[in-house]
Amino acid sequence: MTAVEILKVRKESATAKSFEFKYPQYSRPGQFVMVWLPGMDEIPMSLSRIEKDIKEITVENVGETTAALHKLQPGKKIGVRGPYGNGYTLPRKKSYLLVAGGSGAASLAPVAEMAQKLGSKATVVLGAKTAGKLILEKRLRAAAESLTVTTDDGTRGCKGFATKAAEHMMDERKFDLVLTCGPEVMMAKVASLAMERKVPIQASLERYMKCGLGVCGSCAFGRYRVCADGPVFTGQQLNSVADFGRTKLAPDGRRIKL
C-alpha cells in the first residue's frame, strides 16, 4: 500500500468526481487499483487517466466509502495498491467501437486516448440514464473519431439506450474490435451484438472485491476471478459463463439478479 497525495479534484457530474495523484507504477487501460481511506473499506477503482507518473480515479458517490472520498480535497492522502488485473488488449491501426454506460466511461476514457497513440480510430457511444449522469464526455470527444451521446430519458443526445446506438453503428460499418464497460445487462447485449457479427469483443466486469489478488473468491465469475482473470474478458470467456448479464454474488455470498 502506497500513501499518495491528491493533486486535483474535478467534479464530473452531480454524483461523480475525479481524483488525480502521482503514482508512477506502469498501468494499462482497463486495470484497477485498490483504494483505502483510514477507518473505511478498501474498494477497487478503475484507472480513469493513465499518464507516465499521473493516475486518476473517477468515483461515483454510491456508498459510505465513496461518500468519504468525495469529501477529500487536494493535499489529503489516500492509500493505493496495484494496479491489478488484466486490461484491454489494444491492437495498432485498427477501428474500435467503445460502448460506455454510466460510470463505465471511466474505464474506457484511457482506451480512447491510447487509440490515438496507436494510430487506431475510436468510435464512442457514451450512455447514461440522464444528462446529469454523463461523465468524461469532453475527454472522450477529444480522443474519439466520433462520439454519440445517448440518455435513457432524452435529456441529452439521442433518447434511448446506448445498445441501440451501438447496434446501428455495427450495422452501418465494420469494426475490428468492440470494447464495453457499464451495467452488465448492457454489456451482455453489446457482446451478443458483436458476436452475432463475428466482431471480437472485450468487456470490463465489476464484482465485489475484497483482496484484489484472486485469493478470497468474492469476485467469482463462473470459473474465473474478476480481480485476477479480468476485469477485462474476451467474448470467448464471456460466452463460457452462463450467469453473464443475469446474476452475480452479493457481498454476503448470495446470488442476486442483475
Q: What is the pLDDT of residues 103-135, one digit of tens each?
A: 999 999 999 999 999 999 999 999 999 999 999
Q: Is the pLDDT of residue 186 over 90?
A: yes
126 & 192 share domain = yes
pLDDT(221) > 90 = yes
The CA distance from 173 to 120, in Å, is 16
User: Residues 204, 237: one domain?
Assistant: yes
Q: Per residue in 128-142, pLDDT tens? A: 999 999 999 999 999
More confident residue, 214 or 155: 155
Alpha-carbon distances of 95 from 36, 80, 119, 144, rounded to whole Å: 37, 34, 9, 11
**pLDDT tens, position by position, 138-181:** 999 999 999 999 999 999 999 999 999 999 999 999 999 999 99
- pLDDT tens-digit series, residues 12-34: 999 999 999 999 999 999 999 99
Output the CA–CA distances (angstroms, integers) from residue 122 to 54, 112, 114, 117, 149, in the order listed: 23, 6, 10, 11, 14
The whole-chain average pLDDT of the chain stands at 95
Instruction: Give SS3 for 244.
Output: coil
Residues 58 and 155 in one domain: no
pLDDT band at 218 (very low <50, low <70, confident <90, very high): confident
51 vs 94: CA distance, rounded Å: 22
Looking at residue 1, its pLDDT comes to 93
Q: Are 22 and 4 in contact (CB under 8 A)?
A: yes
- Domain identity same for 114 and 231: yes
Question: Cis ω on the peptide bond leading into residue 231 (within 30° of 0)?
Answer: yes
Report yes or no: 180 and 103 within 8 Å, Cβ to Cβ.
no
- Same-domain check for residues 60 and 159: no
**pLDDT bucket at 217, cuts 50 / 70 / 90:** confident
At 257, give phi and psi (nearest 5°): -75, 145
pLDDT of residue 107: 98
Can you give the pLDDT at residue 249?
82
Q: What cell does 70 get? A: 468525495
Query: Are residues 39 and 151 both part of a single domain?
Result: no
CB atoms within 10 A of CB 101: 26
Residues 193, 126, single domain; the answer is yes
Phi/psi of residue 28, nearest 5 degrees: -115, 150
My answer on whether 41 and 112 are in the same domain is no
- Per-residue pLDDT band at 210 (split at 50, 70, 90): confident
Q: Are residues 106 and 75 in the same domain?
A: no
**Are residues 76 and 107 located together in one domain of the fold?**
no
Are residue 58 and residue 185 in the same domain, yes or no? no
* Domain stops at, among 84, 116, 139: 84
Q: Which helix (H) or strand (E) holds 185?
A: helix 184-196
- 193 is a domain residue: yes
**Residues 5, 72: contact at Cβ < 8 Å?**
no
* pLDDT at position 168: 97
CATH code of the domain covering residue 148? 3.40.50.80
Domain that holds residue 34: 2-84
User: For the chain, what percent of residues have pLDDT higher than 90?
Assistant: 89
Domain assignment present for residue 90? The answer is no
Cα atoms in the Cβ-side hemisphere of radius 13 Å centred on 105:
32
C-alpha 184/C-alpha 221 separation (Å) is 12
Whether 105 is in a domain gets the answer: yes
CA pair distance 224, 242, nearest whole angstrom: 12
pLDDT score recorded for residue 254: 85
**pLDDT band with cut points at 50, 70 and 90 for residue 48:** very high
Query: Which of these, 27, 86, 96, lies nearest to 57 by C-alpha position?
Result: 27
In a domain, 229, yes or no: yes
The total domain count for the chain is 2
**Is the predicted pLDDT of residue 252 greater than 80, yes or no?**
no
Q: What's the rounded Cα separation, in Å, for the pair 172 and 222? A: 34
What average pLDDT does range 193-203 have in this prediction?
98
